[in-house]
Structure 1
Amino acid sequence: MTGDLFDGLEPPPPGSPEARAAELRRLLHYHAHRYYVLDAPEIPDAEYDRLFQELQAIEGEHPELRTPDSPTQRVIGQVLDGLMPVRHAVPMLSIQTETDTTAEGAIAFDARVRRELGLAPDEPPVEYAAELKFDGLAINLRYERGVLVQAATRGDGETGEDVTQNIRTIAQIPLR
C-alpha cells in the first residue's frame, strides 16, 4: 500500500499491525464518506462496526499506531459552531451496537440481558420484539402546554444543538 499515506516513508510490511491499521483507517474513511456524504452505503452497519472495533483493538494493543486522523479519534456528536448548545434535561442515551448477527451472537445477547436483569438460569425466558434499525438523526422535541418550544439534536447525549427553527420547517413535525 503506497501513495499519499506513506509518501516518503517505507510502507509497513504486509500483514503487520501497522499495515492492517492503515488499511482499516482507509476502509472506514471510505465507507463513512459513502454513508454520510453520498448516502450510498456499500456495507451493512454491522460490518462497519466490526471494522471499527478491529481498529480499536489494534490501536489498544499498539497505541503508537493511533493517528490523529483515525476514525477512533473522532468525537462524534460535538456541538457545531454557530448552533446554540442545549443541555438535555434527561440524557439521550445510545443503544449498544451489536455486530454478531449469528445464532451465537443472539445467544450471547440473551445471556447478557439475563445477567444484567439479574435473572437466574431457571427463570422464564425473556421475550423480545425486534425491528429493523433505520439510521437517522435523533431529535429531542420539547413541548410546553402542547406547543413546540425547542428541538435539539442528540449531540453527545448530554448536550446537543438547538435546531428549533430548522425542525419547524418539517411539515410532519407538529408545532402544536
Structure 2
Amino acid sequence: VIPQPFNLEHARQADEDITRLAERARLLKEIRCLQHISQASPPLIDRISDLSCLLIKQLQAPMQIPEHKPVLKDLHMLKHKVVDCIREFECLFQPTVERLTPFIKKALEDDRISKNAKDDIRLCSMEFDELYTNLEKRARKLTDKEWRIINRQLKAIGQVSFKNLNECLPEICDELDTLKLEFNYGI
C-alpha cells in the first residue's frame, strides 16, 4: 500500500458531504414530526364505537373469572425479622426437644424425684411444648428481650449434661431447677 499525499480538496468535499447528510437527517426528522402532529387521532366516541373492536370481541373466547378462595381470618403476614427468628430458633429447639423428652419421661416416672419437683418439671415441659408447637403463632407477639431470654434458656439447657440419666436423675433435676426455666412467652 502506497500512502497518498493529503488532498485538501477531498477533505473539504468529505466535510461538505457530512454536513449535507446531517442537514438532510434533521429535515427528515422534522417532516416526520410534522406529519405525526398533523394526523389527529379520531375523537374518542369514534374510537369507542369502532366496529373493529366488536369484531375483536367476537373472535375472542369468553373470559372466565377465576373463583378465589376466601381469605382465612387467622392469616397473618409475618415480618421478615420474625421469619428469620423462627428459622433460627427451630434449629435451637430441635436438639433441646431431643434431649428433654427422655429426661421428662424418666423424671415423671422415677420415685427418687419429689412431688414438687415433678410438678415443676411437668409445668415447664407443658410451657416448652406449647411454645415449641405454636412458635409461628406466638412469634409475632414476642419482643426482642423475650427472644433473647428464650435463646439464653435453650443454651442453658444445652449446657446440662444428660449422660447417665438413670443414675444422675436427681442431680440433673436439681441442676435444671436452679436454672428457673420458664417458657410462657408470647401468650
Q: Normalised by the shorter chain, which TM-score bucket? A: under 0.3
Which one has the bigger helix percentage?
2
What's the TM-score, normalizing by structure 1?
0.21
- Structure 1 or 2, whichever has the larger Rg, is 2
What's the TM-score, normalizing by structure 2?
0.20
Higher relative contact order, structure no. (Cα contacts within 8 Å, ≥ 6 residues apart): 2
Which one has the bigger strand percentage?
1
